[in-house]
Amino acid sequence: MRILGIDYGDKKIGLAFGDFGSQVALPLDVIRNDGAFTLKALARRVESEQIDRIVVGVPLPTGGRFGPEQLQKTRAFIEALRKVVSVPVDEEDESFTTKDSIRLQREEGAEADEDALAAMIMVQSYVSRLSDTGHSASSETLEGS
């Protein structure tokens, strides 16, 4: 299963690719958040890259970095995205992903953008969590997660 990970932000959006079968996640790039234009671009990318599922990081309170306003904005983005794509869109806790991405840049020399790395970390967490709970790669199985 091909997964597009999204680290949503008001100004920019980090993207990552994940593969459920191989348990791999890779940072892709960062795009500007231009509202409806960005939603259309993401929908085209889902089609052209044959993405099976989208996972969007949500800033849950455990991370302490964002408040309820950012959570509301992210969930509004998710709802808008669901209207323009034909694949399931899931949420994944993104707590500490930005902090971890900065650590990867500093300690490991990662050259990808911080937001793309945050999306990668979030996708890896999603894939690992599903594997650990015994979910298969079928959309029907993952739908209830």
pTM of the model: 0.80
The per-type count for the chain, helices as H runs and strands as E runs, is: 5, 5
Residue 121, pLDDT score: 85
- Kindly list the domain boundaries of the chain, sorted by start residue: 2-135
Residue tagged 């794509």 (tokens): 85
Residue 110, pLDDT score: 55
Query: pLDDT tens track of the chain, all 145 residues?
Result: 999 999 999 999 999 999 988 888 889 999 999 999 999 999 999 999 999 999 999 887 655 555 678 889 999 999 999 999 999 999 988 765 556 556 555 566 656 667 888 888 888 888 888 776 666 544 433 333 3
Query: Do the Cβ atoms of 41 and 6 come closer than 8 Å?
Result: no
Q: Whole-angstrom Cα distance, residue 143 to residue 136? A: 11
Tell the CATH topology of 2-135.
Answer: Nucleotidyltransferase; domain 5 (3.30.420)
Residue 137, pLDDT score: 47
- What is the residue type of 113? D
